[in-house]
Every structure is written in C-alpha cells, then in structure tokens.
Amino acid sequence: MRIRSLLLLVLTVVFVPGFLAAVMAVQKVREGERAAALNALRETVRASALLVDVEIQRSIGTLTALGESASLSAGDLATFYEEARAANRPPHVWTLLFDESGQQLLNTYVPFGTTLPQAPADRIRAVFESGRPQVSDLTVGAVSGKLLTLLYLPTRRLNGKRYVVAHAYSVDHWRATALQVENGSPATIGVFDGSGRFISRNVNADTTLGKPARPELVAAAASAAEGVLRHYTLEGVDVYDAFTHSEQTGWTVAVAMPVHAIERSVTQAVLWLAASGLLALGCAMLAAYVFGRTFMRVIETASGAAQAVGAGQAPQLRPTRLEEVNILYGALADAGRVLTQERQSREAAEREREELLARETALRETAERENTAKDQFLALLGHELRNPLAAIAGATAVLSHERSTPEAREKFLGIIQRQNRHLGHIVNDLLDVSRLMSGKIVLETRRINLAEWVTSCAEALRATEKAAQHEIVVQAEEAWIYGDGVRIEQIVNNLVFNSLKCSPAGSQVIITVRNDGEHVRLSVQDFGIGITADLLPRVFEPFVQGPPPPGRMSSGLGIGLALVKQLVGLHGGEVHAYSAGPGLGATFTVILPRAEAGTLPGQRIAPTDRRARHVLLVEDDRDAMAAMSELLRLMGHEVVHAGNRDEALAAVETRRVDLALIDIGLPGQDGYEVASELRNRAGSRRLPLIALTGFGRDADRVRALAAGFDRHLSKPVDAELLARTIEEATASQA
C-alpha cells in the first residue's frame, strides 16, 4: 500500500464521522427551532383568543350597567336609548333591547322609534332560562343587513318586566381587535363559530367571511381544546395551524404560519452544511494529493541522508509491508516530532470544540429554566387571584338576590370588603416579581383564631358555584395560631377546592379544626376519587395532578397543593395527605404551632369623629369618580369634581378646597405635572395633595413626593386608611 492511498483512507475515516456528526447536530437544531416556532405560534393564538375574551368581558360590564338603568326600570325607553348610544363603540358595536316575547324595543343602529322586527323567540327564551350572558354564532342582522355576532344579557325583573340587552358586533370589529399581526408577518388569523363559519379573517376577508373553514381544522377544533396541525389553507398554502377556544364565546381562534416561514432558517442551515461538506471533501482530496507527493520527496531525501549517516553501521529495522515506511525508518525521530505537534494541534481543536458545546448547552439550559420560571409565574399569578375573586363573586351573588335579608347583606358585604383587602395584599406581593419567584413571600402574622377564619372561609365558599352541589361541614373548636390571615384563607380555599373538584355531586367535604397538644390540626376530608399509591408521595409537587373524576374535564394547573405546602412551611408547619386508595376519598392535614389565646394585637378600633373637609377629587374615569365621591360623602366630606388639569386649576381658583385627591394617569398633563403646577401657584402652595393611583411601586411613591404630593395611596385603597390619611394631611388646618 502506498502512502497516497493511506492518506486518502485516513482522511476519509476522519472526515465521514465528523460530517455525520454535523448532520445530526443540524437535525437537532432543526427540530429545536421548529418546536420553538410552534410554541410561539401557540402563544400567539392564545393571545388572540384572550383579545376576544377581553372584548366580550368588556361588553358584559357595559350591558350589566345598562340592565340596572333607572330609565329602563321606569320604562323610559327614549332616555334609555340615549344611554345605550353612549355605551356604543361605533361604528362596529351597537346596542339592542328585547322584551320577554323577543320583540326588539330599540336598536341604536337606527333612530329611536323605527319599527323593528321580532327576534327568534327560542333565542330570547334560552337567554332567560340560562340567566347568564349568551353569545351567538355568525348571523345576518335583520336591521343592519350586516354579518354580525350578538352578546345577549338578561336583566333582573324591573317593575314586573324582564328584558334582554344585547351588543351587536359587526365582523369588522373582530378584524380590528382579534387579528393583530406584526407588520410584514405572513400569518393568517381566523375566528370561526361553533358551526365552523368564519366570523373574522385577516386574509381574503371579503370572500371568506360567513364561509366554512377547512374541514380538517373544524374537526380538530371540535375534538380538542387546543392544538397544532399541518394542512392547506383555503388559498392552498401549506401551513402549521395552531388553534384554541375563546372561554367567553366558545369560538375557535386559529393562527396559521406558512411551513416555509417556520423552516426557513433550518433549510438555510442544511444548505450551508451541504456546501461546507462538499468543500471540505474537495480540500481533503487535494490535500491528500499534494501531501502524498511531498511525503514521497521527504522519504527519498531522508533515505539518502540515513544511508549516508549510517554508512558506518546498519540500523536494526523491522520491515513492514509498506515500501515507503521501510525507507523512512532512518528519519523516525523527526517524524515523531511532527506527529507530536499534530496531536497537540488536534487536542487543542478538540478542547475548543468541547468548550463551544458546553457553552451552547449552558445557554440552552438557561433558556429552558427561564421559560419554566415564566410558566410558573403566570400559573401562580392566576391561582393567587382566583380564590379571593371567587369569594367576592359568591358574596355578590347573595347581595344581588332579591330575597337576601339585611343581616345577610351586612355579613356578605363584610366578606367582600375583607376579600378586597386580601386582593390588595396579594397584588402588593405580586408587584415584586423577583421576590415572589424566589419564594420570598413575607407573612403579616398576628395571633388569630383558626376556627373563626375557617368558618368564615367555609361561608364564603358555600356561596360559590363550585360548592353548589356539595355540602361543606365545619367542625371547629377554638384554636389560636400565629399566622397571616390572607395566606390561611389561601390554604383553606386550595384544600377545599381540591376536595370539591375530586368529589361527586351531593357528597360532603368535612373541615375539622382541633387542638393537639402544642399544635393545631386543620384537616379537610372528602369522599371522592381518592389518590393512588404511586401518586400520593408526589401530590404536593408543582404541576402534579391525578386523573379527573369520571365525566369531568381536567381542571387547574396542578399548583394548588404545591402552594399549600409552601405557605404551610412559611408558617412553620407541615402538611400531609392520606388516602386508602382509588374511590375511597382523601384527607389533607395541616399541622401548625399553637399560640396562646388572648386579645388579638392590631384589632380594628372604631373610627373617631372626623371633621368634614372640602375635597377636590381629580379623576378622569367616571366609574372611579362616582365610587370615590360617594365614599367621601359618606365620610362627611364635600366633594368637588375635576376630570383634567384645567378643571382642577379652575376649581382651586373658584371653590373652597381643603385637600386635593389627584389621580396620576390623567389625560393631557398627568398628575405629577398638575401637582407641580399647584405647588408653584401662590393660592395653592400649601394645599395638602394626596396621590391616589394604580402606580404603587416604591419608585412611583418617590416620584410622587418629588412632584409635590404630601401622601401617596395605591388603588384600591382601604376606606379607613383613606379617612385617616385625609385627617392627618389636614390636621394643620384644624
């Protein structure tokens, strides 16, 4: 075998594995990039569905307010027509009113008094029977003649009559709200109703609205809550299509991205790899040819030198089957040095490659950790807010019931007030994201009677929809602990909701509180589906969930019990789960250190009489203005209104003002600028100024004080704190 042939063989052995490894690496990158692009597509479609839900929720609030209108209750439809027009979002959203028979009483799309058609009686009857908002599929308006969808909301009985108020959305409205794509993006976004017809589409909308979507997309949406499939669009484009459902409407939102756009970078990488491989192969063959000739000349020269040097004595050599190597033995030392240098160079290149690979792996792991942290944060955010909101919703339902007694109203109003304060507490925790994600939740502990808190929680939970078909039984004896009331409610709510979710309708959930030596035991027992032996040790791990009860969909994010364990640990306690097996129910037991009974530090003291003040309220939001004005009047103050900078300055010049409450987010000049201008005027230089705003960070508080404010209060503000702050700010005027 000649050296040139051997070199070609060596180069082939070295080159081929390296090239195959590169191919495998590119394939991994290709799969990773495709997965990342599809994940981004899923996030886009979820965001689009959220836009639809936000629009529907916004209209529900508007329709609820219209349904409580005094003019509607009095039967003054002309005045109600003007109120409804003010609630429109022209030109694509307008308001309708139906009576119990389905007759349109008014339609703000046309002038008041216009003769209007009869709506389908079964539709109006279904709205009354449900008692909840109803969203229609795509239809053609009998008055407007446009393709539209409708949101129906039944009112309570007003002077013996019931009505349905509705918002009509033209398809142009959904194009402006739900089909948001980046400039130049090739994405196709569509929304179709339960029958599979397009309500909105950003591509070829004029020809596709009202037409059915692709059958494979409709079938996939009907069989799953969300997902991704590859198919061809109505225009014949090969796409990856992500879909999900709007929670408020049940419509399907789909975002399609062309396959070539998803895999463009991957295709370029493959082409570069192919070109590099061909170039490397050509260089290897050229190198083999050149180096082979060089080695032949070196061997011949070395052979002559070795023969000359060794003329006196022949070396002891072992022959080989290679003719050139037998001649080269005389120059073995030089060859050894060359081989050493080559090995060192190869090792250096290998070390560099390993360092690059390690760096890439570290970056990928960092990205995965950050993505996991983001998901955990969003899940925790939703879970933190949902429980207080559920209690408020239940108490509100009781208060709005026509047969509720004054005692019940007082009790459930207290629940709403307490849960509102709890929401403020939670929001303050969530403002510092880094502190929350690192587990640094600060407890506001005091000595509390656990039995009272558990009983109060149970009362609030009984009013919720989740507990409507269950019996919550409380067996609690007086037991004192040091704890944070908000977090204790979170623990109880999470445990009870977990038991309700896993229990059949009509069953009991038993909550027990008892003293046990130096500890207090809180247990929640249900008679539901139970816990399997393999799941029991992992039940408190994040995102771990057992199978749902028969006939139910899986719900929750699997963080409730994990949050319970964290909060119990912060209180210095332990939590345990027990189940005898599937179908035999489960018991969750929380063990907390016991505290001595006695007077609770920090008990609320009845407010003392406060002097009436003339308060300037600067607020651009009409609802916030109305609520805060009424609260100030109940405190005994006179209120002067202003919606912007000019009205505020005019009020200070022309009216008596003892104190100003100023919102920061005003139109035109913001609250900081208004405060600075008031401080620079002689007549208002010493006027007490209080910032009342949703900007609640430490940096916002510092900026408010620097702008001239005397106090800074974050929305929502506690009524007692507001009254005390007004009293302190105006004390020097007494």
Strand duo 147-154 + 139-140: pairing: antiparallel
pLDDT at residue 604, as a whole number: 37
pLDDT tops 70 at residue 291: no
Task: Using DSSP, state whether 266 is helix, strand or coil.
Answer: helix
Domain co-membership, 651 together with 552: no
CA dihedral 205, 210, 215, 216 (to 10 degrees): 50
d(CA 458, CA 471): 10
| Count of domains observed in the chain | 4
Is 280 within a domain?
Answer: no
Q: Which helix (H) or strand (E) holds 348?
A: helix 332-400
Task: Using DSSP, state whether 601 is helix, strand or coil.
Answer: coil
DSSP 47-108: HHHHHHHHHHHHHHHHHHHHHT-HHHHTT-HHHHHHHHHHH-BTTTEEEEEE-TT-BEEEET
Beta strands in 424-507 (DSSP E): 446-449, 471-476, 480-483
pLDDT in tens, 491-543: 999 899 889 988 998 899 999 999 999 999 999 999 999 999 989 988 888 76
The contacts of residue 180 (CB under 8 Å, 6+ apart) are 48, 51, 189
pLDDT at residue 269, as a whole number: 65
Domain co-membership, 170 together with 138: yes
pLDDT tops 70 at residue 316: no
Highest mean pLDDT among 321-325, 426-430, 432-436, 625-629: 625-629
**Section 665-684 average pLDDT:** 91
d(CA 487, CA 645): 41
**Terminal Cα-to-Cα distance of the chain (whole angstroms):** 112
pLDDT at residue 649, as a whole number: 93
The more confidently predicted of residues 365 and 321 is 365
Domain co-membership, 164 together with 186: no
**Section 590-606 average pLDDT:** 61
- Cβ atoms of residues 124 and 110 within 8 Å: no
Peptide bond into 716 cis (omega under 30): yes
pLDDT in tens, 220-245: 999 998 999 999 998 889 999 999 99
pLDDT at residue 108, as a whole number: 94
Is 148 within a domain?
Answer: yes
pLDDT tops 70 at residue 549: no
d(CA 462, CA 291): 88
Q: Which helix (H) or strand (E) holds 232?
A: strand 227-232
Length of the chain: 734
**Section 293-311 average pLDDT:** 57
Q: What is the CATH number of the domain that holds 470?
A: 3.30.565.10
Domain co-membership, 633 together with 669: yes
φ, ψ of residue 44 in degrees (nearest 5): -65, -45
- Tell me which of 242, 258, 274 is where a domain ends: 258
Structural tokens at position 45: 């479609």
C-beta neighbour count of 138 within 10 angstroms: 22
d(CA 284, CA 11): 7
Domain co-membership, 647 together with 505: no
d(CA 696, CA 712): 8
Q: Within its chain, how far is the Cα of 54 from the centroid?
A: 13
Domain co-membership, 41 together with 95: no
CA dihedral 673, 676, 680, 685 (to 10 degrees): 130
| Range of weakest confidence among 244-248, 288-292, 448-452, 578-582 | 288-292
The contacts of residue 114 (CB under 8 Å, 6+ apart) are 107, 143
d(CA 371, CA 352): 29
**Section 1-17 average pLDDT:** 68
* Host domain of residue 188: 29-56+180-258
The more confidently predicted of residues 621 and 380 is 621
Strand duo 134-135 + 147-154: pairing: antiparallel
pLDDT-based confidence at 337, cuts 50/70/90?
Answer: low
Domain co-membership, 210 together with 91: no
Residue type, 465: E
Is 505 within a domain?
Answer: yes
pLDDT in tens, 399-418: 877 777 888 778 888 788 77
Nearest in space to 237 (alpha carbons), one of 186, 192, 196, 199? 186
C-beta neighbour count of 248 within 10 angstroms: 19
Is 575 within a domain?
Answer: yes
d(CA 482, CA 20): 64
Domain co-membership, 529 together with 478: yes
- Cβ atoms of residues 60 and 192 within 8 Å: no
pLDDT at residue 593, as a whole number: 95
The more confidently predicted of residues 729 and 589 is 589
CA-based max dimension of the chain:
131
φ, ψ of residue 303 in degrees (nearest 5): -65, -45
Domain co-membership, 452 together with 467: yes
pLDDT at residue 598, as a whole number: 46
Residue type, 495: L
Task: Using DSSP, state whether 477 is helix, strand or coil.
Answer: coil
- Report the mean per-residue pLDDT for the chain: 81
- Tell me which of 174, 204, 226 is where a domain ends: 174
Domain co-membership, 450 together with 586: yes
Residue type, 43: E
Is 472 within a domain?
Answer: yes
d(CA 145, CA 91): 14
Q: What is the CATH number of the domain that holds 626?
A: 3.40.50.2300
**Section 64-69 average pLDDT:** 91
d(CA 33, CA 711): 51
d(CA 161, CA 72): 10
Strand partners, 591: 521, 574
pLDDT in tens, 561-586: 888 888 898 899 999 999 999 989 99
Is 245 within a domain?
Answer: yes
- Tell me which of 258, 289, 306 is where a domain ends: 258
Structural tokens at position 510: 């038993």
d(CA 326, CA 142): 102
d(CA 576, CA 523): 9
| Range of weakest confidence among 196-205, 328-337, 638-647 | 328-337
Is 394 within a domain?
Answer: no
Domain co-membership, 109 together with 205: no
d(CA 93, CA 150): 10
φ, ψ of residue 706 in degrees (nearest 5): -65, -30
d(CA 732, CA 281): 90
For CA atoms 189, 193, 196, 200, the dihedral sign is: negative
d(CA 327, CA 313): 16
- Cβ atoms of residues 503 and 575 within 8 Å: no
- Cβ atoms of residues 472 and 458 within 8 Å: yes
- Cβ atoms of residues 71 and 83 within 8 Å: yes
Domain co-membership, 561 together with 677: no
d(CA 458, CA 496): 9
pLDDT at residue 334, as a whole number: 54
pLDDT-based confidence at 4, cuts 50/70/90?
Answer: low
DSSP 281-320: HHHHHHHHHHHHHHHHHHHHHHHHHHHHHTTSS-------
Residue with tokens 């306690």: 573
pLDDT at residue 11, as a whole number: 65
Q: What is the CATH number of the domain that holds 244?
A: 3.30.450.20
Q: Within its chain, how far is the Cα of 548 from the centroid?
A: 23
Nearest in space to 33 (alpha carbons), one of 261, 213, 262? 262
Q: Is this structure's pTM higher than 0.85? A: no
pLDDT at residue 390, as a whole number: 65
| Range of weakest confidence among 49-53, 586-590, 697-701 | 697-701
Structural tokens at position 421: 């304060």
d(CA 512, CA 601): 26
**Section 23-45 average pLDDT:** 79
Is 16 within a domain?
Answer: no
pLDDT at residue 488, as a whole number: 92
